[in-house]
Structure 1
Amino acid sequence: MIIFYFAPDIDECRTHTACQCDGCSCKNKWGGYECKCKGNRIYIKEQDACIERNGSRFGWFLTLVILAVVTASGIAGYIFYKYRLRSYMDSEIMAIMSQYMPLDNNQSNEAPTQSQPLRHGTTV
C-alpha cells in the first residue's frame, strides 16, 4: 500500500513574506506565489523590487548620439579613403610602375622631347 502525503501550501501573500515592495500585488499559487507591479513596471524577484519597463530618455538619447557618431565616422572614413588616400596610393603605384615600365616611348638616352597629343588618324 502506497501512502501519499501532501504538505499544506503556505500562503506567502497572507503572511506578508513575499512581494513587500511598494506597488506590488501578490497572488498565491500552489507551491509558490506570483508578484506583479502596478503600471508599466516589472518585478525583480531577487531584489523584491519594481522597476520601470521603459529605458530612460537620457539612455535613448545617449544611444542615438553614439550611433550618430559611429555612422558619421564611418562615412568620413569612407570619403577620406575614396578621395584622398586612394589618389595618393594610385600616384605611388604609378611612380613605382614607371620605374620598371616607362610610360613614354623614349627608350634612348637622349633628352625627352615634349610630347604632342595624338590626333585622330595619326600614328606615332
Structure 2
Amino acid sequence: MLQETTIPATPSSAIGPRFRPYASPNHHVTKGRYITSNDPRGYIPVYEYPLNGQWIMMDIDDGYILWTGIWKALGNAKADIVKMIDSQPDLASMIRRVRGGYLKIQGTWMPYEVALRLSRRVAWPIRDDLVPLFG
C-alpha cells in the first residue's frame, strides 16, 4: 500500500541546514562563522577542516564550496584558478569572490554541484580528503 508522506509545517531553519558534511574517520570537521561585508548576511557560516595547509570550507546555508582551498591543497598557484575560471565563461555568473576581511574565507566560492564536477576532473590526488564535502 502506498502511504502519503507529509512535510511538517515548520520553518526551514527548524529543519536544519541543507548541506552537511559526510562522516569521515580521517577528518575533524568543525563549524565556523566569519564576518564579511561581501555577503548580504554579514557573515559566512561554514563547515571547515584543514588539508595540506589550506582550509576546506562549505557554506552551511547554501552549499557553496571554497574552491580556492581545494585548488591550493592540490598544490596549484592562485593565478591558475583565475585562468581556469576565465577559460569557462559560463562559470563567471555562478561564482562568488570574497576579497578582504578574514583571510581564511578569501577566494573563489562556487555552488556545490559545480565544485563537485570540477573536483572529479582535477582533484583525484586528494579525493579521499574531499569525502567530508562530497561523500
Fold-level match, TM-score > 0.5?
no
Q: Rg bigger for which structure?
A: 1
TM-score range, shorter chain: under 0.3
Higher relative contact order (CA closer than 8 Å, sequence separation 6+): 2
Q: Which has the higher strand share?
A: 2
TM-score by length of 1: 0.22
